[in-house]
Amino acid sequence: MRHVYGWLLLTPAAILLIAFTHFPTLATVYESLFSKGSTIRPSRFTGFSNYESMMEDPVFWKVLTNNFWFAVGTIPLSVGLAIAMALLVNRTLPGRSLLRLAYFTPTILPMIAVANIWLFFYSPDIGLIDQILGSFGIAGHNWLGDPDTVLPAIILMTVWKEAGFFMIFYLAALQHFPEELEEAATLEGASRWYYFRRVVFPLLMPTTLFVLINAVLNSFKLVDHLFVLTKGGPNNASNLLLYYIYENAFSYFDTNYAATLTVVLLVILAVLALAQFFFLDRRIHYR
Amino acid sequence: MIRAQANLRYWTPSVALEIFAAWVLAIFWVAPLLYAFWAAFHASEFAINFTLFAPLTLDNFREALSQAPFLRYGFNTFVLVTMLLLSQLVICTLAAYAFARYEFAGGNVAFSLVLVQLMIAPEILIVENYGTLANLDLIDTITGIGLPYMASAFGIFLLRQAFKSTPKELEEAARLEGCGAFGVLWRVYIPLARPTYLAYSLVSISHHWNNFLWPLVVSNSVETRPLTVGLGIFGAPESGVDWSIISAATLLSVAPLLIAFLLFQRQFIQSFMHSGIK
C-alpha cells in the first residue's frame, strides 16, 4: 500500500517534471539529428550533419569562447569580492547591517533592470562613465559598441550583480565557525592575514566549491542582459551560448540547429552536475 | 575576558582601513541604484548634472505609465508569481512527503530524476518546451509562463529535508489521536516546516518576479506580459525613450520587490542563506 500512496503523492510533480525536463531533454537530442524543415522540403533524418555544420560554424566557436571568457572574467572576481564582503560584515563594525544590505541589494533586482541602469553608464559620450572621464579630459568611448570592451563591460556589471549573492553563502559558513578559533589564533600571535590564509580560507573551501559550481552554472544561464545591452553584438563579440540558441530558434526559426546547440549546453551542464556530485558533500550546505 | 582582549585589538590601523574599505565598496555597490533614483525623480536635463537642489518631479513616472501599461504588467507579474507559488507549495509538499515518509519502490531513482531539474532549468530547454506549450495551446497565457516551473526540484528537495528532520514520535502521537496520512501532514509536518516554507517562498517569489527569458518567449500581449518583459521591450535602445523615463520605468518594475526586501530584509537574507541554491 505504501508504494501506491508514495507514487500517488508524487504523480503531479512527476507529470510536470517529465513533461518539461526529461522528455524535452531527450526530444532535444532527437531533434538535433534532423535537418531544418521547410514547406517544400520537410525535415528529414540527417544523422550528425547538424553537428558537422556546428563544428564549422564560426559563430558557435565565438559564442563558446565568449562564454569561457565571461566565466573566467566574472567568477574569480565575484567570488573574491564575496569572501571579502562576508569577512568584512561578519565582524562587529559600525553600520554592519547597512553594509550587508548594500552588498546584497543587487541580488534582488532583475537582470533586465540592472542592464537598463548600466546601459546608461556605458552609453558613448552622454553616458555617466564618459562624462566622468570627460571631466578629466579623456575622450569618450563606445564601451558596448567596441568588440574589445563589450565583454569586459558586461563582466563588470555581472560581478556587481552577483558578488552579494555569493557573499550570503560565505556568511552562512562563517556563522558556524567557533569563536575560539580566532581567539586561539590571536593568542598564538598569528597575523590576521596568516589566520585568513591558513585557517579561514581552507575552512571555507567546501563553500567555495559550492559557489564556484553555481557561478559556472549561472554564467551559462544568465543572458537576460544581452537583450537590453547588446543583442549579442557587435558582430557577436558579446554573444553567449544560450542567447545564440534563442536567436536560432526564435529569430532564424532553425529549431533543429537550436536543438543541436542545446545538446552542447546540456553536455556542459551534465559535466557540472558530475563535478558537483563528486566534489561536494551536500550536507555541509543543507544541514 | 578573552573576548575583551580581542575587542581591544579592534581599533588598530589595519582594522580602521578595513572599515574604510567596507564603506567604499558599499558606496560603489549602491551607487547604480541611487543613480537610477536620481534620474527618475529629476527632469532629464539633470540626468548627468548633479545639482544638489535640482527640483524633484514625478513627471518621468507619469510619462512612463502613459507610454506603456506598467500597472497591467505589474498585475500580470503578481498573478503569475502568486499562482506559481501556490501550485509549487502544493505539488512540492506532496512529492516531498512521499520521498520523506513513504519508502516506496523506485523512490531513490525517482528522487535522482527529480534532482535533474536543479541543473536543467526549463529555460535551458526553451526550444522543446515552447513546442510543448504550443501543443497544449498555452502560448501567450500566464498559466503557460508558470507551468514548467510548478514542479520545482528545489522545493521538493528543501521540503524533503525538513520533513525528514521531523521526529517520528510526533507522527506516531498524531496517529494515535486518529489522524490519517493527510491529517499527519497537515497537523505535524507542515507546521513544523514553517521556516522552510518561508525561505522557499521568498526565494521563489524573487526568482520568478525577476525571470525574463522564458516569459519573453511565451508572452506576446499586454494581457500576459510580466514586468520584466514589459521593461525589456520598453528599454530597448532603438525605442529612443528618454533616459529619465527609462529610469522611472525601471524603478516602477523593481519597486514592489525592492520595498518588500527592504521591509523584510532579515527574512530575505536568512531565506537565501537557508536555501543554498536558487
pLDDT band with cut points at 50, 70 and 90 for residue B270: confident
- The verdict on residue B116 lying in a domain is yes
- Chain Cα centroid distance, residue A132: 30
Q: What are the CB-based long-range contacts (under 8 Å, 24+) for A45-50?
A: A50/A256, A50/A257, A50/A259, A50/A260
A272 confidence band (pLDDT: 50, 70, 90): confident
Most distant pair of Cα atoms in chain B: their distance:
73
Report d(CA A19, CA B224) in Å as an integer: 22
Percent of chain B with pLDDT over 70: 91
Nearest chain B residue to A267 by CA distance is B120
Quote the pLDDT of residue A280: 62
Please give the pLDDT value at position B276: 62
Identify whether the C-beta of residue B145 lies closer than 8 Å to the C-beta of residue B230: no
SS3 B81: helix
Q: Tell me the nearest-neighbour CA distance from B136 into chain A, angstroms.
A: 11
Higher-pLDDT residue of A94, B37: B37
Alpha-helical runs (H) found in chain B: 2-8, 13-40, 59-67, 70-101, 107-119, 126-135, 142-146, 153-164, 168-176, 181-184, 190-192, 194-210, 213-218, 227-234, 243-263, 265-275
Based on its alpha-carbon atoms, the radius of gyration of chain B, rounded to whole angstroms, reads 24
| pLDDT tens for each residue of B32-62 | 888 888 888 887 777 666 677 777 888 888 8
Distance CA B235, CA B246 (A): 6
Q: Is residue B162 part of a domain?
A: yes
Task: Give contacts of A84 with chain B, Cβ < 8 Å.
Answer: 25
- Picking from B74, B46, B73, the residue whose alpha carbon sits closest to that of residue B59 is B46
The pLDDT of residue B213 is: 93
A107 and A164 Cβ atoms separated by less than 8 Å: yes
Q: Which residue has the higher pLDDT, A91 or A205?
A: A205
**Using a CB-CB distance cutoff of 8 angstroms, which residues of chain B are in contact with residue A286?**
161, 276
pLDDT number for residue B4: 41
Give dist(CA B231, CA A228) in Å, integer.
Answer: 9
- pLDDT at position A192: 78
**Residue B137, SS3?**
coil
Per-residue pLDDT at B236 = 57
**Predicted pLDDT at B11:** 63
Contacts of B213-217 spanning 24+ positions with Cβ under 8 A: B213/A223, B213/A224, B213/A242, B213/A246, B213/B123, B213/B126, B214/B122, B214/B123, B214/B126, B214/B129, B214/B145, B214/B148, B215/B80, B215/B145, B216/A227, B217/A246, B217/A250, B217/B126, B217/B130
How many C-beta atoms lie closer than 10 Å to residue B68's C-beta?
Answer: 20
Measured CA to CA in angstroms, residue B142 lies from A20, B83, B133, B210 at distances of 16, 9, 12, 15
State the average pLDDT for chain A. Answer: 86
Q: Is residue B38 part of a domain?
A: no
How many angstroms away from the CA of B65 is the closest CA of chain A?
16
Q: How does pLDDT run across B220-257, given as a tens digit for each residue?
A: 898 999 999 998 888 655 556 678 888 888 999 899 99
For position B217, what pLDDT does the model report? 92
pLDDT of residue A13: 93
The winner for highest mean pLDDT among A88-97, A172-181, A210-219, A236-245 is: A236-245
Q: Is the pLDDT of residue A222 over 70?
A: yes
- According to DSSP, residue A196 is labeled I
Would you tell me how many other CB atoms lie within 10 Å of the CB of residue B142? 21
CA A172 to chain B, closest CA, distance in angstroms equals 6
Q: Which pLDDT score, from 0 to 100, does residue A244 have?
A: 94
pLDDT greater at residue B270 or residue B258: B258
Query: How many CB atoms within 10 Å of residue A51?
Result: 14
pLDDT-derived band of residue A89, with 50, 70 and 90 as boundaries? confident
- Which residues partner with B56 through β-bridges? B42
Percent of chain A exceeding pLDDT 70 equals 97
User: What's the pLDDT at A6?
Assistant: 86
pLDDT(A159) > 80: yes
* Class of CATH domain A56-286: mainly alpha
Q: What is the residue extent of each domain of chain A?
A: 56-286
Mean pLDDT of chain B: 85
Backbone region of residue A236 per phi and psi (left: phi > 0; alpha: psi in -120 to 50; beta: other values): left
Query: Which band of pLDDT confidence, cut at 50, 70 and 90, is reported for residue A281?
Result: low
HEC states along A136-162?
A: CCCCCCCCCCCCCCHHHHHHHHHHHHH
Cα–Cα dist B197/A8, whole Å: 22
Closest partner residue to B98 among A6, A113, A246, by Cβ?
A6
pLDDT in tens, B147-197: 999 999 999 999 998 898 888 888 888 888 888 888 888 988 999 999 889
Would you tell me how many other CB atoms lie within 10 Å of the CB of residue A100? 24
CATH label of the domain that carries residue B180: 1.10.3720.10
pLDDT of B1 reads 36
Compute the distance between CA of residue B142 and CA of residue B133 in angstroms, rounded to an integer: 12
Domain count, chain B: 1
Residue B269: which of B199, B193, B192 has the closest Cα?
B199
Report, as an integer, the average pLDDT of A84-90: 88
How far apart are the two ends of chain B, measured CA to CA in Å?
42
Q: Do A221 and B118 contact (CB within 8 A), yes or no? A: no
Q: What is the largest CA-CA distance in chain A?
A: 81
pLDDT, position A122: 86
Supply the pLDDT for residue B10. 57
A8, A78, A86, B26 from B19: Cα distances, Å: 56, 20, 13, 11
A114·B32 Cβ contact <8 A: yes
Chain A residue whose CA is closest to B205? A108
If one compares A203 and A277, the residue with the highest pLDDT of the two is A203
Q: Render pLDDT for B149-162 as a digit per residue (tens, 0 to 9).
A: 999 999 999 999 88
Of A225-234, B78-87, B121-130, give the range with the top mean pLDDT: B78-87
- Closest C-alpha to B251, from B63, B53, B85: B63
CB contact under 8 A, B124 and A221: yes
Q: Report B:97-116 residues touching A (Cβ under 8 A).
A: 97-99, 102-107, 110, 113-114, 116
Query: What is the domain range of residue B253?
Result: 64-275
Q: How confident is the model at residue A283, as a pLDDT?
A: 44
Does any domain span residue B7? no
Residue B6 has pLDDT above 50, yes or no: no
Residues of B in contact with A119 (CB under 8 A): 235, 237
Contact B136, B146 (CB under 8 A): no
